[in-house]
Each structure stands twice: as structure tokens, then as C-alpha cells.
Chains A and B, each alone.
Chain A
């Protein structure tokens, strides 16, 4: 590994800067429209909350063709006076580097970790480049717990629309919580804070040619931090509003990469999660407040259609993975009329665990296995949307809490069958 991902001019910049206290990384790809705002917010945050610290901003770019890098370099900070900053400013450096590796966030992060290690920083944060709701406070919320309270990993906590983040709500959060015993609500949030030592730890793992380098990087970072007993906290950041992801982005591929990364990590850390019973909360920073969220349209019909098509078309595959009992329940579910369609939480729990087991036992080629989860996931999502349609944010959260408890109780099934 070493510094092969860092270009020569970057190397020179690093030699100039030598060391730093804080590093904020922004991975980007064709984010010229939004990245200016992000850079300004980050800079303002550093200046306002860590005026006496030496900070570096790293933009790790995936080969943008819309001038992202130029925007970053050219974002002047002339108007920071209006953001109430009157403090003396320590030098603030900007490094812009394209990264090498599989296109995706993970490769961007690797470059960021390497720079962090090279500069021996104490605390780092990474934020998405398309955030519209980022404020200077985010920098404080992600970095302060590391610098002042000695935490190694700070996960984000957002106030999201009850329909958003369904992959987190129905798979990643309950699974991670039941497996590793920590209630990190947004394990794949996308904006994190972490310590320099954790960054160095991440670099010791050789995962950069796998799914983890794509959509799996977030779950990987969170799981590695929890499973290796780093001190974990979460910070409330407010609403997360970003430019909508490319609608052409394949849900099936996203789901497969995230779930696949989670399952793969289960293999590495089986001795850890087998011992864990129940779960505990993690320290939470930030002042939690309600945010007004815009209404979201959902095409439940399409999801239900895809689910039912799955029952028809993927019958043999699901039988193999779930067994006749659970598949029978899924099949029965498919015949239920739309308004009554409710996915039983226990059944969903067993399905996720069965998929983890099937992944472990290589019952199918892994790519096929993970992609076959999509119709089931859509069924669960449709059911959740209909269930909480008339409910408020807190009640929707209760529903997710119920699911988490099911995951914790059903863990025994996972342990018993994991040979």
C-alpha cells in the first residue's frame, strides 16, 4: 500500500505541512454544484470551533469532469466575516487529490486515511460532497468528541423523513445492533468523525479491492470501530439534505454491496458477535431538535409488484435460502391484498439471518445471493411505509425499535446454525 495512492504533488504538499491536528476529508465526484458550500461550511466550522488547531481540508476526487477540483481550490473565504468569525486563524491547508482504485467512496477514503496517517493528525472527519444542509456546527459535532472526550469514532445522527434510509432501518441498524451490541442509529450515515489512531488502524486492513471500496465503506468503518473495541459515540447533526442520488443508481447493486459487506464482516468477527448479548446505547452529543421535513412520495405499488414477481420468479432460490417454512410464509404474504400487506417482523428477522447464513455457507454464488434479496427488501419497505403512513416520526421510530428487539431475540437462531 504505502503512498502509491498519493500523487507526487500531494507528497510535496504533505512535506510542507508536516503535521496537523485536524483533517476534514470530502470525497467527491462531479459535485461542482454543491461542494463549494460544503468547503465553506467546513472551513467556517474549523475557524469558529478550533481556532487554535492546525487543520487540513482534503478533497479526494474520483476524476470529476465538471470542474469540482477547481471549485474547491477557488473557494475563497471572503465572506466568512458574515458567519460570525472573529478569531485568530491558524493556517488552513487544502489538498486536492484524485484517488486511484475502484471508483467509489471507499477508494476516496483510503486516500484520506493515508494523508491523515502521514500528517499524524489527532482527529478527522469526513463529510459528503453533496450536502446541502451542512453547517459549521457539523465540524464541531464530529470532531470535538474525538479531541476533547477521547472518543475514537463518532457516527452521525440525523433527523430523517420516516420513509428515508430504509436499508439502514430494516437491515443495517438492527443487524449491527444485534450483532455487536451498540445502538449506533445511523451506521451508514456517510458523515463521520474518527481519531487519527483509528485512521491508522483502518489502513492496516486490506479491503480496498472489494465491495467495501464501493457502497460498503460506511458499514465497514462502523463495524471495524465497534468490533475492535474503539470508543464509539454519535452526534446529532440535524437534517441530512443532499442532492438526490442518481436515480439510475441500481438499488439492487447498492443493497447487494451494503449487505454483502455486512455479511463479509460477520465472517471476520464471528468470535466477537457470538459473545455479545443484548445491546447498549452509545453516548450521544448535540442538541436534538425536530426539523421540518418535506413530504416524500412513495410508489408502494411498484414495490409490491416487484415483491410478488420475486415470489414467482425466485421461488427456487428463496426455497434454498429460507427453507420451506419461511418461504411458505413469504408466499402466503404475496397473496395478501395490498391494504392488508404487512411483513411480520419475526419473519423479516429470520430472512436477514438466513441470508447471512447462506452467505457464510456459500449456498449460491455470492453475487446472485445478494441480488436476490432485493424483492424481499422491497416487500418489507412497502409494508413499513403502509404501516407508518398515518403515524408521526416517533411512532415510526417505535416500529423500528420493535424490529431491533426481534433481531436481538432471534440472534440465537443465527448462532446455532453458524457452523
Chain B
């Protein structure tokens, strides 16, 4: 009977002792978390008061930052939005810190990786944002020049250029994020190369006549054509 009891109690004792070992860690984590939440709350409140005092909302309205928020259907006051961002940031940091207090190796690894990944994510976002703007700018420049030259398929050309640039930008961003890099590079090469090839072929085939006419026109142009003087 005694042995049987021993059999039951032994594993329980083990669990209990393991738990005793582990308990302070958990306690530490919970404490850090709680302190973190409190701290984040206080910081948010302080920040809000500060922003209100320096009339941050009004500045944001005049600088056009509020408009950007509204365009994304975010209707909170700019100061409140900033406060929330700061709050969540602090919360995440305290969460991560708390997790590391657990001293579980696997989790430590994850946390470290997360922090390493942040810069990449950030640069990927930057690439997307600037890439979008640049693609739009170049696309529009191509459109206007083509229209002014009388090119009938101006819009198509401009869209093709913008598409090409967008594909390029996306590939660059994905590469930054290191999402299946090998596949992304391969896919990009295929798409990009394909588009360029298609353009070249269509230009060549469809353009034979046009090219001939262009060359003939150039010869014509050599003699000075009298047209109206715009200036």
C-alpha cells in the first residue's frame, strides 16, 4: 500500500518541485507585464496632455498629416492616435521583456528574431511607399509625353510601364522581407522578362510598318517644313 502511494506521490512531487522552480519566473513575467501595462497607460496619458498643450492636433491638420489619416478612414484625433501607437508599442516591449523573464530558450530565440526582423519590415514598407509614388510619377510622365507625341496607345504604354515598375517594387519589398527569396527572384525574372519580351515582339511585329514609315518621315523631315509659328 505504501509503495502504491509512493508511486502516485512521486510524480506529483516532481511536478510540484518543477513548478516551484518555475514559479518565480512566471511571477516575474506577470509582474513585468502588469508594471508594463501601467507604465504604458501613464505614458499615454502624459503624452496626450503634452500633445494637447503644444496644439499637436492643430499642427497635424495644417501639415496634412490628419488628411492622410482620414483618407485611411481613421477618425481619431491625431494626438489620440499617436498616444495609442505609443501605448501599444510600450505594451509589446513589456510583453517581450516579460517573456524573456520566463527564461525559456525557445521563446528567447523567437524574441531575438522578432527584433532582428523589424528593420527589414521597416525598409520593406519604405520601399513600397516610395516605389508606389515613383511608379506613379514615371507612369504619368510617360503618359503625357506619349500623348503629346501623338502616340495612339499612350495610355496602354503608360500602364505597362507602371505595371513593370510595380512588379519591380513588389519584388524588391518581398526580397527585403526574405519571403521565399529564391522563388520571388525566379518569379520576378520570369514576369519581368516575359513582359519585356512581349513588348519587344509586339513592337517588332506590329512595328515593321510603323518603323518603315518613321524612317521615311525622317527623310522628309530633313527638308524644313513650313508650319505656323507658335512662338
| Residues of A bordering B, CB below 8 Å | 161, 163-168, 188, 215, 244-245, 247, 251-252, 254-255, 258, 296-299, 302, 305-306, 309-310, 312-314, 317, 364-365, 367-368, 371-372, 374-375, 381, 385
Q: Specify which chain B residues have a CB less than 8 angstroms from the CB of A375 in the assembled complex.
A: 147-148
> In whole angstroms, what is the CA distance A297 to B227 when docked?
6
Asked if A166 and B152 make an inter-chain contact with CB atoms under 8 angstroms apart, the answer reads: no
Asked if B231 and A254 make an inter-chain contact with CB atoms under 8 angstroms apart, the answer reads: yes
Size band of the interface chain B makes with A: 20 to 34
The answer to whether B140 has its CB under 8 Å from any CB of chain A is yes
Q: Specify which chain A residues have a CB less than 8 angstroms from the CB of B137 in the assembled complex.
A: 365
Asked if B229 and A244 make an inter-chain contact with CB atoms under 8 angstroms apart, the answer reads: yes
The answer to whether B225 has its CB under 8 Å from any CB of chain A is yes
Q: Specify which chain A residues have a CB less than 8 angstroms from the CB of B150 in the assembled complex.
A: 302, 305-306, 309
Most buried by A among B144, B147, B150, B227: B144
| Residues of B bordering A, CB below 8 Å | 137, 140-141, 143-148, 150-152, 154-155, 158, 221, 224-231
Q: In the complex, how many angstroms separate the beta carbon of B201 from the nearest chain A beta carbon? A: 24
Contact count A vs B, C-beta below 8 Å = 83
Q: In the complex, how many angstroms separate the beta carbon of B141 from the nearest chain A beta carbon? A: 6
Cross-interface CB contact of B225 among A215, A247, A313, A385, cutoff 8 Å: A247
Residue of A nearest to B143 (CB): A313
Cross-interface CB contact of A314 among B143, B151, B152, cutoff 8 Å: B143
Q: Specify which chain A residues have a CB less than 8 angstroms from the CB of B227 in the assembled complex.
A: 247, 296-299
Q: A247-B221, A365-B137, A368-B140 are in contact. Are A313 and B146 (CB under 8 A)?
A: yes
Q: In the complex, how many angstroms separate the beta carbon of A319 from the nearest chain B beta carbon? A: 14
Asked if B230 and A255 make an inter-chain contact with CB atoms under 8 angstroms apart, the answer reads: yes
Asked if A254 and B230 make an inter-chain contact with CB atoms under 8 angstroms apart, the answer reads: yes
Asked if A296 and B148 make an inter-chain contact with CB atoms under 8 angstroms apart, the answer reads: no
Interface of B is mostly: helix
Asked if A297 and B226 make an inter-chain contact with CB atoms under 8 angstroms apart, the answer reads: yes
> In whole angstroms, what is the CA distance A84 to B116 when docked?
90
Q: Specify which chain A residues have a CB less than 8 angstroms from the CB of B152 in the assembled complex.
A: 309
Asked if B226 and A313 make an inter-chain contact with CB atoms under 8 angstroms apart, the answer reads: no
Query: In the complex, given contacts A306-B147, A309-B147, what are 7 additional A-B residue pairs having Cβ atoms less than 8 angstroms apart?
Result: A247-B221, A247-B225, A298-B227, A299-B227, A306-B150, A313-B143, A317-B140
Residue of B nearest to A309 (CB): B147
Residue of A nearest to B140 (CB): A368
Q: In the complex, how many angstroms separate the beta carbon of A217 from the nearest chain B beta carbon? A: 12
Cross-interface CB contact of A313 among B155, B229, B231, cutoff 8 Å: B155
Q: Specify which chain B residues have a CB less than 8 angstroms from the CB of A252 in the assembled complex.
A: 145, 148
Q: Specify which chain B residues have a CB less than 8 angstroms from the CB of A306 in the assembled complex.
A: 147-148, 150
Q: Specify which chain A residues have a CB less than 8 angstroms from the CB of B231 in the assembled complex.
A: 165, 167-168, 188, 215, 245, 254, 258
Q: Specify which chain B residues have a CB less than 8 angstroms from the CB of A385 in the assembled complex.
A: 228
Q: In the complex, how many angstroms separate the beta carbon of A155 from the nearest chain B beta carbon? A: 15
Cross-interface CB contact of B228 among A166, A313, A365, A371, cutoff 8 Å: A166
